[in-house]
Amino acid sequence: MNTALAKVLAHLENVKFAHTVFALPFAYMGMILAAGGLPDLRQFLLVTVAMVGARTAAMCANRLIDLELDRRNPRTRARPLVRGLIRPGEVWGLLVAGVMLLVGAAWQLNALALQLAPLALVFLIGYSYTKRFTWLSHWILGVTDGAAAAGGWIAVTGRFELGTWVLWLAVALWVAGFDLLYACQDVEFDRREGLHSVPARFGVAGALVASRLCHVWTVLAWVALGWVEGLHWAYWVGVGIGAALLAYEQHLVNPVDLSRLNVAFFNVNGYIAIELLFFTLVDLMLRR
């Protein structure tokens, strides 16, 4: 493989670029709800740039902050930065570029977006430290990722509205719920290293209960969003499919068998984000 291409692929793997599918659809969902349909092309492109920048900065920071932990964790020893396929200086460069993309896009959107950008960066970068002192880190990640949906909304309106908060809450609970599942695979490592997580503190069974509660409240938040925004049948079809997929995700994982965790984490959550965006857009377009 070409050396330059291999380097690019290593950086994409390092920031798990494919996982953008989890948060980006909800940023778009915030935009279309705020706009009552399709936003203008400029807003769409700027929100996309802001999201790519924010996620790149967050993931680069995470890889740098957790580098020594990743070297000791059997699950993460194959990451490109750990293996030396890319250098810390390169990751720092991408981190700075990501910050510049986020701030530049926010500046072009509106005053509130720009004012909130520094706070967003505190959460995007600071999240990686939270597992060192609190098992609430799963919900802090949820709040951080949920800000993407709120950001998409604010990009269009330049202000907070009731729907902004409800959508943010829904995404925060959804992300916390699947992060609780994902953390189950590191329970022994977290305990050995003195890291804080719900599985390490309360066991895998306790984490699964917390995850299920988060996803029940996620569906309730989707319902509240539909009521607040006056959405119709197409949106409710999306909510029904999303609820069924969350139930399936929870069914895939149990305290004595985590073998299907990656299917639950990667596949199902990607489907949820995309289908809910699709049915929300259909609902809004049918009302025109």
- 36 pLDDT above the threshold of 60: yes
Alpha-carbon span 245 to 268, nearest angstrom:
7
Who has greater pLDDT, 270 or 212? 212
Calculate mean pLDDT across residues 251-260: 72
Calculate mean pLDDT across residues 220-247: 96
Confidence (pLDDT) at 275: 96
Confidence (pLDDT) at 123: 95
DSSP letters of 269-286? Answer: HHHHHHHHHHHHHHHHHH
Who has greater pLDDT, 18 or 277? 277
Calculate mean pLDDT across residues 102-121: 96
Calculate mean pLDDT across residues 49-71: 94
Write the secondary structure of 91-104 as one string of H (helix), E (strand) and C (coil): HHHHHHHHHHHHHH
Confidence (pLDDT) at 25: 93
Residues β-bridged to residue 254: 257
Calculate mean pLDDT across residues 28-44: 94
Who has greater pLDDT, 102 or 267? 102
Confidence (pLDDT) at 265: 64
Confidence (pLDDT) at 6: 78
Instruction: Please name the residue that has the structure tokens 């250098």.
Output: 87
Confidence (pLDDT) at 12: 79
DSSP letters of 55-113? Answer: HHHHHHHHHHHTHHHHHH-TTTTTSHHHHTSS-HHHHHHHHHHHHHHHHHHHHHH-HHH
The Cβ-side half-sphere exposure at 170, using a 13 Å CA radius, reads 28
- 110 pLDDT above the threshold of 80: yes
> Which domains can be identified in the chain, with CATH numbers?
8-286 (1.10.357.140)
Confidence (pLDDT) at 253: 80
Chain segment 182-227, per-residue pLDDT in tens = 899 899 999 999 999 999 999 999 999 999 999 999 999 999 999 9
Residues β-bridged to residue 257: 254
Taking only Cα atoms into account, the Rg of the chain, rounded to an integer number of angstroms, comes to 19
Alpha-carbon span 144 to 138, nearest angstrom:
10
Closest CA to 91 of 46, 128, 45: 128
Helical H segments across the chain, by residue range: 3-14, 20-35, 41-65, 67-72, 80-83, 88-109, 111-130, 137-157, 162-183, 187-193, 198-228, 233-252, 261-262, 269-286
Alpha-carbon span 144 to 268, nearest angstrom:
21
- 164 pLDDT above the threshold of 70: yes
Share of the chain above pLDDT 90, in %: 78
Confidence (pLDDT) at 10: 80
At residue 173 the predicted structure's pLDDT band, cuts being 50, 70 and 90, is very high
For residues 37 and 285, the answer to whether their CB atoms sit within 8 Å is yes
Confidence (pLDDT) at 4: 73
Confidence (pLDDT) at 15: 80
Q: Which tokens hold the place of 128?
A: 């990686």
